[in-house]
Structure 1
Amino acid sequence: MDIFLNVLGVVFLWLAVEYCLRHQTTESLDDASMVPFADDPEVARRVELATGKTVKAVAPEEAKAGWINLEM
C-alpha cells in the first residue's frame, strides 16, 4: 500500500507540473531562466557571453536628488 501511495504522489506531482506549464513555450521558459540576472548589467553580460542567450537587463536605479539609497 505504501508503494502505491508513493507512486500515486509522484504521478500527481508530475500531472500538476504539466498542468501549470501547459501554456509555456521554450522561449518563455528561456526568458524566465534569465530573470535572476536581469538586475545586474555586468552579470547579465557575463551570462550572455557564457550561454550565448540574450539577457534583457534593466539599468540599476539612479539615486534621486535629495534621496538616500540605503544598502540593506
Structure 2
Amino acid sequence: MLNILFSSLERQKDIEQKKKLTENDILKFFNQNQFLRKKFMRVMDENHLSYIKKHRPDIVASWKYYQEFEKICKELDD
C-alpha cells in the first residue's frame, strides 16, 4: 500500500517539476513581449530598484539574470 502512495507521489513530483519556469523561460517571454517587457522595466526602475541602483549599483551588477533582462531591453528597444 505504501509503495502505491510513494509511486503516486513520485509521479506528481515529476509533473510539478515539468511545470516550473526557469530564468531563461522568463527572459524568453520578455524577449517576445515588448509591452510587458517595457512595463516590467518601468515598474522595477521606478518602484523597486531606484534606491538600490543609486546607492549600491554593485549589488545590481551582480544579478546575472537582471543584467540579461536589461541587455534584452536595450537591444530590442533601441
TM-score by length of 2: 0.34
Structure that is richer in helix per residue: 2
Greater Rg over alpha carbons, structure: 1
Larger RCO (CA under 8 A, 6+ residues apart): 2
Normalising by the residue count of structure 1, what TM-score does the alignment of the two structures yield? 0.36
